[in-house]
Amino acid sequence: MIVALVALTNVALGVAYTGYGIMTAIEMRRDWRTFGFSHFGAAWIFMAFTCGPHHLDHGLHVALEGRLGGPLDLLAVVVGLPVGVLWLWLRVEAFLGGRGDRFVPGDPGWLRAAPTASAVYVTVLAIIGGAVLAGPRVTPGFAVWANIILVFLYMNIGWFVLRTQLANRPSMGGWSVSGLCLSAIFPTCALMHGIWAVYAVSGRYAQDGHGLLIDWLSVPAGIYFLTVVRSLYRDSLRDWNDGPDEVAPEVPAPPAAPKLASSPPRTPVAGPH
C-alpha cells in the first residue's frame, strides 16, 4: 500500500510541476513584448522541468521497476502535497484570467501554530532518517550528492521567500496565500530530496542513469532560482514579477478609469518596495 501511494503521489507531483512549467513558458511567450524577459519566469521554467521529471522518474521506478518506496518518502510528499496543490490551483486560476491569489488578514491561529508544527515534523523526519542510516549502508552514488546539494539550495530559496512574507506583513496587514504556499513548498521539496538521499545510502533506492542526469541538471536550475529570488529580495534585480501579489481584503473600491494595458503578473517573492 505504501509503495503504491509513493508511486502515485510522485507521478502526480511530476505531472503538476511539468504542467506548470509549460504554463509559465506560455505566459512568458504571451507577455514578452509587453513586459520583456522575466528572470523569475525563466527560473521557474528550469525548476519545473527538472523537479517534474525527478518525481516522474522516481514514481515510475517505484510503480514499474520494483523500487521500494519508503514511509518517509510518503510522509514528505503527503505533507507537501496540499500546499503544492493549493498553490498550483491559484496559478492556474491566474493563468485563466482569474484572481490568482488570496489574502489572509492578521495572524490566524493555524498560522501561528505553523512554526511549532514544522519543528515537530522536521524532528520526526530527522529521528526516523537517522534510524535508517544507522542500519546497513552502501557507497553513495553521484545522484546522492546532487540531492544533498538540492537540500541546501531549496532550503535557502524557502528562507528568502519566507523572509519576503515577513517583510511584507506589516505593510499588507496580512499574508499572501501564494507566498505562504511557496514558503512551505521549497522546504518540503528539500526534505524530499534529503529522504531520497537517505534511502539511496541505505540501499533502498538504486541510482539510475536518467535520474542521475535529471538531478544534476536540477543543481544549476536551483542555483539560478536562488540567485533570482535573493536578488529580488535585495531589490537588486528588476523584473516584471518583482513585487508582492496585490492581494487585499475584499472591500468595495471606487470605479477606476479604464487602462490601456493590464498590470504585469506579480509573484510574492520580492523584497519590500
Tell me: the pLDDT tens digits for 140-197? 889 999 999 999 999 999 999 999 889 888 888 889 998 899 899 999 999 999 999 9
Element housing 178 (H / E)? helix 177-201
Is 16 part of any domain? yes
Is 272 part of any domain? no
Is 264 part of any domain? no
Element housing 220 (H / E)? helix 209-233
Residue 227 lies in domain: 2-233
Residue 243 has pLDDT above 70, yes or no: no
Is 265 part of any domain? no
Tell me: the pLDDT tens digits for 107-129? 999 999 999 999 999 999 999 99
Determine whether 34 is exposed, middle or buried from the number of CB atoms within 10 Å of its CB (0-12, 13-18, 19+): exposed
Is 36 part of any domain? yes
Tell me: the pLDDT tens digits for 41-100? 899 999 999 999 999 999 999 888 888 878 888 888 888 888 888 988 998 898 888 888
Check residue 244 and give its pLDDT: 38
In 3D, which of 73, 79, 80 has the Cα closest to residue 2? 73
Check residue 269 and give its pLDDT: 47
In 3D, which of 16, 30, 161 has the Cα closest to residue 77? 16
Check residue 252 and give its pLDDT: 44
Instruction: Tell me the Cα Rg of the chain.
Output: 19
8 Å CB contact between 137 and 203: yes
Beta bridge partners of 103: 176
Mean pLDDT value across residues 219-232? 93
The total number of structural domains in the chain stands at: 1
Is 206 part of any domain? yes
Which 3 state secondary structure label does DSSP give 271?
A: coil
C-alpha grid cell, residue 21: 512549467
pLDDT category, 240, cuts 50, 70, 90? low
Check residue 267 and give its pLDDT: 44
Is 140 part of any domain? yes
Is 62 part of any domain? yes
CA distance 4 to 200: 19
